[in-house]
Structures are given as structure tokens and as C-alpha cells.
Chain A
Amino acid sequence: MAASTIEPEIVSGTPTPDGHHHRRGDGISRLLHARPKLRLTALLTLPLAWLGVLYIGSLVLLFVTAFWTTDTFTSKVIPAFTLENFVEILTVPAYQLTALRTIGIAFAVTALCAVVALPLGLYMAKVASPTVRAVLAIGITLPLWAGYLVKVFSWRITFMNGGPLDWLLAPLGMTGPGYGTPALIVTLAYLWFPYMAVPVYSAFRQIPDNLFDASSDLGAKAWATVRTVAIPLLKPAFIAGSIFTFSLSLGDYIAAQFVGGKTQVIGTVIASNINLNPPLAAAFGTVPIVVVVLYLFLARKSGALKQL
């Protein structure tokens, strides 16, 4: 800018006697500053409404519906209190089995994620060069960026009879497992892996290198160090990750429909009852909620949540 140009001084608002300039909007700021309660209300109204009405409200509605019943002929929901739905899901073997199977699958998915996250986290945090680390970090979080349906569909293609997996295993004289529980576990583990890998990796980075040196110095071989130093120190990260992998696996039903074959999980049973018998679906829907609450309670008792 030419030195001769004289810029007019930009003044917004009116100068106050003490020489400070006030911009528009300062009036509101001053008002809020003087009234802490008003400030709090302004801050929290929207999120609280969202949480209260949409989130908890809908769960309460679900819970209430679980005590209603359906007209068997018209499939119309009748709002009359009954415990029948809960009795049914707790006593009919098919429901019991489905619930147990779903919990088992959720545990298997969690275990698979943890077993893969441990060496990967170790490599990324302690061995890899910064470039390799960045590439792997992108690789791990990649599943979060693609659409859910696309990912599940890609696994459906992978496990297809005569599909890529069969083709890969053919030279070894083996075939893929096809659609079913193993395929479902692998698919779910792929979907939720980032939620386990990220906390485990960042916890690994926080373990000072010299703890590994010290362990080795005191006579521990690599696996002993992993077992006695790394895993105990990573426990909070594993538990934090498992909360996601476990609860997300518990609630999923699309993956089961795509790659689960005949495998029924809580989600698929609820989905098939949503139109036929909403109160029963609602009652079954409380099962994963109760299980997750129980899981969170146990996690809390272990003290891991404090470090989240």
C-alpha cells in the first residue's frame, strides 16, 4: 500500500468515556456476564432439550411400549399394561438363545479387535517411522469414513460362495466360511475396529520407552514385557475400546442380514417384529440396553472409566 494513503480509522460502536470502543453485541455479553443463571440457561437449553426429549424420551417410550400388547388379528398396538412380553423373551428358548448368541458374538468381536489392536498399536507407537505411523493411522480410521452399507456390502461380496475369499484360499485347498456367524464376527470386527485401535494406540504412545528398556534390562524377553508391562498399562484403553465394540456389536442387525446367513441376533429379531408385534420388539430391545448398562457398571468398577 502506498505510504501516502491515509486510512480512516475504523471505529465501530461508540467510544465510551474511558476510551474503550464497544462493538455491537457487547450489550448482550455484558447482560450475560452480570447474570450467571441466564448464561447457563442460554448455554444448556438446546442440548438439554435434545438429550431429554429426543434421546431419553424415545428410550422411555420404548420401555413403556414393551409393557403394551398387540391385537393378534389386526396387529394393532393396545396400550394396556402387561408383563407378557418380558415373560416371553425370558422363557422362550429361541429368544434366550438369540440373546446369548448375540452377547457371545459381541464378546468375540471385542476379543478379535483387542488381539489385532495390541501388536498394531505396539508397532505404530514404538517401532514405525512417523510416515508409516501416519499411513497406518489413516488406514485404521478408514472404515469410519466410508458408508456403513458400502462396507457391509463389500464384506458380503468377500464372503460370497465362490467369492474372493474362496478364490484366495483355494490354493491351500480350503474354502471360506461362507455367510454365517464367523463371517458376521469378522465383519463386525472390521466395522468397529477403529474404536478399539485408536485408544490402544494412543495409550501405547503414552507408555514411556524406558519402561520397555527397564523390563528388558531386568531380564524380560519381548513377550514377558508385553504381558507384564504393556497389557496391564493398556487395560483402561482396552476396556474403553471394548465398550464401543461390545455395545455396537450388540445392537447391529444389518451386518447380520448381509453376511450372517441364517444367524439370528437380537437386532434381526427386533427388526422382524417391528411391524408384527412392536411391544415384543420393544421388550427384546431392552435386553441389549440392560446388558450394556451392566457392562458399563463392570467397566466402572474396574476403574478404567476414570481414565477415559
Chain B
Amino acid sequence: MQATASAAASAASAPETSDPSGRPAIAMRNVVKTFGEFAAVKGLDLDIRRGEFFSLLGPSGSGKTTVLRMVAGFELPTSGRIELAGRDVTRRAPFERNVNTVFQDYALFPHLSVAQNVEYGLKLRKTPRAERRRLVNEALEMIRLPHVADRLPSQLSGGQRQRVALARALVLRPQVLLLDEPLGALDKQLREQMQVELKQIQRTVGITFVFVTHDQEEALTLSDRVAVFNEGVVEQVGTPEDLYERPGTRFVASFLGSTNLVEGDLARQLTGSTGLLSIRPERIQVRNLNDSSPDADHVSSLEAVIEEIVYTGPATRYVARTDGGQTLIVQEQNDSRASGAGRGDRVRLQWPSRFNYTV
């Protein structure tokens, strides 16, 4: 057998990014879930396309995990409809859905070896023994852990357990793989390494990944599209670029990265309307007051006083206050064009007007 990555790829063959029938991998229609008085999910409509890396992003308690658990079948919706590839599974049990889950704390069976854990679902499907062994080996090769096959989960590191959980779910070749904050328990470095690996594996196997996270950076890095959840409602669905550059709501603008939200008089001064305005800190430049700007027509500009300076390595953050009392955060790269402004300096803040995004 040759390199397993390609074996896995051939098994899944051409990822079905565009289903001829046009049916989404997951379709949710007006899905509501309440726990007693508490409405965890309030009328959700969402389509997730085939082969897509889709993230459900939101703070804890925003309903994203509940949505995942309803897709998996661990929770039944209070009302609404869930379809997998066009098939209504709203009331189906988890074992009746061609969907597998990677759990937040891995949920590996502690009494079974790594190989037995990965084999668990295949055994239930009554896959013949030889075939089972081949698939398990392939899956362990894919996560680059063939040497731990006989160990117990308790003998593995966090990152290894995470990968075994991934292998256990992927070995069944589900239509959709659900991942519930799978990297949450890992330290920063390992998490970043696993992000790269996850993305590669997803591209290789071509399976639809639905990824739950509260980490906006993780969601932006990994996803083809992201749904931003807040208090049981989807605030916006879009590509990472859409969400970051063109946030649809105040919540999305402030939850993804940091931003300056401006409204009222200052907004009118900048755009002519008082509506809510989002300006990303890294778009703003700090300039000397007597520096004349070359293309003043397309530039928004304000005078402000630097109140605080935070050095963060590759960049410097300034907290500036306008005469009107509005605080603006500015992030400046520490390169040759750095302004070198000091605390208390009166400066001109300027940025191309096209970065004034009206929310």
C-alpha cells in the first residue's frame, strides 16, 4: 500500500463539493430548541454545503453546541426540521445518521486500546475482520500514530487522544463530521499545529466538516464559511472575509477581531450618516499633524491624542481619543513606516474611506 493520505483520498474520491442534485449536506429549517424556559436555539435556518469546512462560531451559551448535538442526534429539536443530504433525520437516533462526532474531551473508551477504539464503529457495522484491520491501520496512518495502536487512551498525550478521536470518527467515512471544540483542551502551539492538520485531513477526505468553536481566530483560519451565533440566533453566515470585512451586525463586528465602532456625530462627519460604523484598527494610520495626505479625497481623517501605547512585538497598539471623546484603537505594524508617536502626542489618524464599513 502506498502513502495513506492518497489511499484515503481515493477512498473518498472526488470530494462532492457540488452535488448535482443541489441538496446541501445539512439543511436546518426553523429549528427551535428550548430547555424548560430557556431557548437555546431560536428558529434556525441554515444550509451547509457538501465538502465544506463550516464553523459554528459564538460565545459559550450562544447555542452552537446545541445545534451540533441536534445534527448528531443527541438532542431532539423542540420544533423544526433537520435534513442530511435531503433526508429528514429530525427524529432519528444517532446510530441511524451517517454523521460522526469528535467530542470536546474526546470521549475515547478508556477500557479499549487505540486500535479497538478506532475499530468500534466498524465492528458495529459488521465489517469483516480483515477489512476492519486494514481500515484501522489506514486511519492510524492518516493521523500519523500507527505506533500507539495497542496503547490505552490514558497512556496518550492530549494531542494524540484528539487525533485518535478524529480517526475513530473518520474511519466510518461519514457524510458529515461534527467537531465540538476539538482543540479547546490543547495548548496554543499544539492547537495551531492541529489546525493545519485538520485542514489538510479535511481537504484529503473531502468530507463536510462542521466545526464548533468560540475562538474567532480558529474559525477564520480554518473555515470555508462561518455562522456567527449569538443568544440562540445566527447573526451572519459568510466566508471569513465577508465576516471580517463586512460584518452585518454590531455583534459580528465586535466578536470577530477587534474593531472601532463609531456612531452618531462622528459617524456623520466621516460618512454623512449617523449609522453604526466599523473601522478595523489595522486600517488606521498614525500621521504627524503637518503631514499632508496625497489623496485627501478618498481618505477619512481625524485628529486625536495618543493616550496609551502597547507594544505587542510585530505591531504596536495605540489608544487614541478624539476631541469629541471617542476612543479609537489603532494597530500599526512595527516596520519602516512606523510613526513613532509618543504618549500625549496630538496626531492625525487617517485611513482610506472604503474601510469605513457601515454595519
The minimal Cβ–Cβ distance linking B31 to chain A, given in whole angstroms, is 19
A residues less than 8 Å from B172 (CB atoms): 218-219
0 or 1 for each of B106-132: is its CB under 8 Å from A? (1 = yes): 011111000000001100110000000
Closest 10 CB pairs of A and B: A218-B121, A214-B107, A210-B107, A219-B124, A216-B94, A232-B111, A219-B95, A217-B101, A217-B94, A210-B103
A233 engages B110 (CB within 8 Å): yes
CA A288 to CA B120, docked complex, whole Å: 42
Query: Is B231 in contact with chain A by the CB < 8 A criterion?
Result: no
Q: Are A218 and B111 in contact (CB under 8 A)?
A: no
Q: Is B74 an interface residue (CB 8 A)?
A: yes
Of the candidates A211, A216, A218, A221, the one having the most CB atoms from chain B within 10 angstroms of its own CB is A218
Q: Which residue numbers of A lie inside 8 Å of B, CB to CB?
A: 208, 210-211, 213-221, 224, 228-229, 232-233
- How many Å from the CB of B89 to the closest CB on chain A? 13
How far is A187 from B172 in the complex, measured between Cα atoms in Å?
49
Instruction: Say whether A217 contacts B100, CB under 8 Å.
Output: yes
B27 within 8 A of A: no
Q: Smallest CB-CB separation from B116: which chain A residue? A: A228
17 CB-based A-B contacts, threshold 8 Å: A213-B94, A214-B109, A216-B74, A216-B93, A217-B74, A217-B94, A217-B99, A217-B100, A217-B101, A218-B120, A218-B169, A219-B121, A219-B125, A219-B172, A220-B95, A229-B109, A233-B111
Of B73, B105, B169, the residue contacting A210 (CB under 8 A) is B105
> Which B residues are in CB contact (< 8 Å) with A210?
103-105, 107
Residues of A within 8 A of B139 (CB): none
Min Cβ gap B176→A in Å is: 12
> Chain B: residues with CB nearer than 8 A to chain A?
72-74, 93-95, 99-101, 103-105, 107-111, 120-121, 124-125, 168-169, 172
The interface residues of chain A lying within 8 Å CB-to-CB of B72 are 213, 217
Taking A214-B103, A218-B169 as known contacts, 16 extra A-B pairs with beta carbons closer than 8 A to each other, sorted by chain A number, are A208-B105, A213-B103, A214-B101, A214-B107, A214-B108, A214-B109, A216-B74, A216-B95, A217-B73, A217-B95, A218-B95, A218-B172, A219-B121, A219-B172, A224-B124, A233-B110
B109 to chain A, nearest CB (A): 6
**Roughly how many angstroms separate A51 CA and B110 CA in the complex, as a whole number?**
39
Q: State the CA gap A208–B103 with chains docked (Å).
A: 12
Return chain B residues, CB-CB under 8 Å to A224.
124
- The distance in angstroms between the C-alpha atoms of A210 and B72, with both chains bound, is 12
The docked-state distance in angstroms from the alpha carbon of A221 to that of B93 is: 9
Of the candidates B74, B99, B169, the one having the most CB atoms from chain A within 10 angstroms of its own CB is: B74
Task: Give every chain A residue within 8 A of B107 (Cβ-Cβ).
Answer: 208, 210-211, 213-214
Nearest Cβ on chain B to A235's Cβ, whole angstroms: 8
Please give, as numbers and ranges, the residues of chain B lying within 8 Å of A228 by CB-CB distance: 120
Bound CA–CA A127/B99 (angstroms): 25
Chain B residue with the shortest CB-CB distance to A235: B111
Residues of A within 8 A of B111 (CB): 232-233
Closest to B124 in A: A219
Rounded to whole angstroms, the CA-CA distance of A214 and B124 in the bound complex is 13
Min CB distance A229 to B, Å, is 6
Q: Which of A211, A217, A220, A221 has the most CB of B within 10 A?
A: A217
Whole-angstrom CA separation of A221 from B96 in the bound complex: 9
- Give complex CA distance A229, B101 in Å: 17
How far is it, in angstroms, between the C-alpha of A237 and the C-alpha of B24 when the chains are bound? 47
Q: Kindly provide the distance from the CB of B65 to the nearest chain A CB, expressed in whole angstroms.
A: 12
- A221–B100 Cα gap in the complex (Å)? 15
**In the bound complex, how far is the Cα of B120 from the Cα of A213, in angstroms?**
13
How many angstroms from the CA of A210 to the CA of B165 in the assembled complex? 12
